[in-house]
Structure 1
């Protein structure tokens, strides 16, 4: 039995907007980090594999930091009613460290500020991502997450615009702009969400129990419901490959197409627009059909987009094919975490499970850029997107196993699990 306020079953548009603002603030630095830090590393390193490995350090930190901080935020939410204090402390510290990246004059200094930024920013990443589950009823979480992903798409546009207009003129100013967006956006988002009532839906099995982080981790591997583990493995592959594409796309465009650093960093601008326009339609389609099938089809489309990019020979052609890549990623990014929210047995720990989701994503994003970079070293930059296509297709096969897995028998599972059928 579930206790909840009927009024909370409505789609909270204001909350969706403020959550999207928080995610926009957060992703404005991460997107620019992925687009421009590889070019900073190329000043000291020539190997694509090493650059990919170093670009995965932030994700390696996320594997340990994100679930721990997300669990702490669940406990704080239960005690104090919100997660906002952690966000309002972490955002300014991360912004300062991010702004210092272009001021590093040696390789050692660059690594220090990169690792410092990654540690702090990972501390609140999953907390921000869990806000959609906090403020939306399960039946509206795909739409809520679609609005949140629109915030991400806007950061792609912002990053591309900053790269094209500012980077080639003043790279320090270019890094300063996302830092300001992080601080201002997070402050306004937290202030706006404080005026909104969070969604409350606590099952009887959750109400009186307290489960530690270790117990929740063990449950993923010992539960008869294999879908959660299979989904997280698929997230590992999908998010990792997407991160590899993002982190290596700028040097790819420079090496294969002969573009400048600023031009290469802005090549994803049309893809950002495509993601922006497709987000809500994809969410509505998933709610009316099957979220898992939509995710699986999305990864196939992403694979086909990578193959098309491999055959592209100009900046215009690459921009067009990256639209296909973005549409495929849109289908996965909007629905995957919502699927996880719908099948977890402990709804009071949605922040922790969001941390698990981003831990799987971080693990993939730690290894995949280096793997893709190694494949480039063994072949050539020309073949990067062909390698990425194969990795994406493997993720779609994992999602197929999620679709075919039997329904769980555990108590306390969200009723929205029917969307997996």
Structure 2
């Protein structure tokens, strides 16, 4: 449990950086682009790198064997680069340098995101993974709350302050992770030469249940990513908020997610991951549907609180469910597949929802989000039950036969 809480620092820094990026970068882009669809598209350019790099790096990390471990080398390279380029974003001198810093930051983040996520199941037994995922997402939720709460105040002082803060936090998290995380050894040794790790085919991981789960993940991230990327513009142009008020409103969603991260992990372990996810998706259908008719800042924030609780039910249990339908030696590969699908949704959603908004107005944002959640619910009906990972979880220093 101590290692899980400390591993949560990695998720804390990732969530903090992404939340600041999604909250404030659209405001930078709005200085150069007047089409909401184009702003939405620019917010997805980085995800093209993530969509292809994260599956490959996650797959590669399964077969990496260094004195630093399987996953840690990717963190040691990616996190310092991510911190540096994040801090540079508000220092752009024009549209070209803004896009350049955006791409370089997100390219750097793609180098370590899948390995960081894969560390959780690496050091956690299968039956405890929903609880562990609740802990690390609790830490990630704190990062989001700071991004929207403290970050909005720092942005009011100067636009570069939130991004500098994120870069410093990322570097501190790397130092802590390097000091405390000891990964399991991944090659077997029984007195003879260690056998190489057998290559894992991505295709063999895509069984029927996994495909339905991935379909659900795609659709609920289409809904969520579109709302997160375009909410500050929605709040300022449709509700009439200031920039700081719009970004601060997302704090209510993130705070509810934060408070319910641990309980949702416990509920997933107690009652089943699929059941709790289904409750969360059904709840967000109702919440997003209700927000279509809300123009009051107070009621918007109340509904965002309830929505954050339902999002915790989904987000805490989905990754452990994906992992539980495969083998222990394919954790990095399946992590990469998970992020491929979520990145594909992130690429699809903002420009699609932005295009719809250009035609029908900002009230269409939550109509599209509701439809996305309904499609996710339909995919859940096609997925089988919980699934179990084969093999036993290694203790530190244990060697796992992978050939």
Output the TM-score relative to the length of structure 1: 0.87
Write the distance in 1 (CA, Å) between the matches of 2:330 and 2:115: 11
- Aligned residue number for residue 111 of structure 2: 123
Match of 2:224 in 1: 242
Corresponding position: 1:256 with 2:233: no
The range that moved more, 80-89 or 45-54, is 80-89
Distance 1:403 1:249 in 2: 34
Could you tell me how far 1:39 is from its partner in structure 2? 1.0
CA RMSD of aligned residues (A): 2.4
**Is 1:375 aligned to residue 356 of structure 2?**
yes
Deviates more, 1:97-106 or 1:74-83: 74-83
- 1:361 and 2:342 matched: yes
- Which residue of 337, 341, 346 maps to 2:323? 341
Q: Is the 8 A contact 2:205 2:326 kept in 1?
A: no
Are 1:18 and 1:190, in contact at CA under 8 Å, matched by a contact in 2?
no
What is the deviation of 1:23?
0.8
- The question of 1:310 aligning with 2:295 is answered no
Residue 402 of structure 1: how far off its partner (Å) = 0.6
State the shift of 1:211 in Å: 4.0
Q: Which residue of 2 aligns with 1:15?
A: 3
Q: How far apart are residue 248 of structure 1 and its match?
A: 0.7
Residues 1:291 and 1:243: Cα distance change in structure 2 (over 3 Å): same
Tell me, yes or no, if structure 1 residue 112 matches structure 2 residue 85. Answer: no
Q: Which has the higher helix share?
A: 1
1:219 corresponds in structure 2 to 204
| Structural mapping, 1:193-204, within 5 Å | 193-194=181-182, 198=184
Question: 1:232-269 deviations in whole A, cap 9, x for unaligned?
Answer: 12211112321111111111111112111112111111
Partner of 1:3: none
Instruction: Determine the C-alpha separation between the residues in 1 that align with 2:163 and 2:280.
Output: 32
Structure 2: distance between partners of 1:288 and 1:188:
32
CA contact (8 A) 1:342 1:414 kept: no
1:229 aligns with 2:211: yes
1:8 counterpart residue number? none
Shift in Å at residue 72 of structure 1? Answer: 2.3
Count of residues paired in the alignment: 388
Inter-partner Cα distance in structure 2 for 1:180 and 1:37: 19
- 1:182, 1:61 → 2: CA distance? 20
Say which of 250, 253, 257 aligns to 1:271.
253
Alpha-carbon offset, residue 153 of structure 1 = 0.9
* C-alpha distance 240-187 of structure 1, shift in aligned 2 (>3 A): farther
Mark the runs of 5 or more structure 1 residues left unpaired by the alignment. Answer: 1-12, 417-421
1:107: Cα distance to partner?
A: 0.8
Question: Displaced runs of 4+ in structure 1, greater than 6 A?
Answer: 199-202
Question: Is the Cα–Cα contact under 8 Å of residues 136 and 199 in structure 1 kept in the other structure?
Answer: no
**Maintained 8 Å contact 1:163/1:262:** no
> What SS class does the counterpart of residue 363 from structure 2 fall into?
helix
Gaps of 5+ in 2: 189-193, 394-403
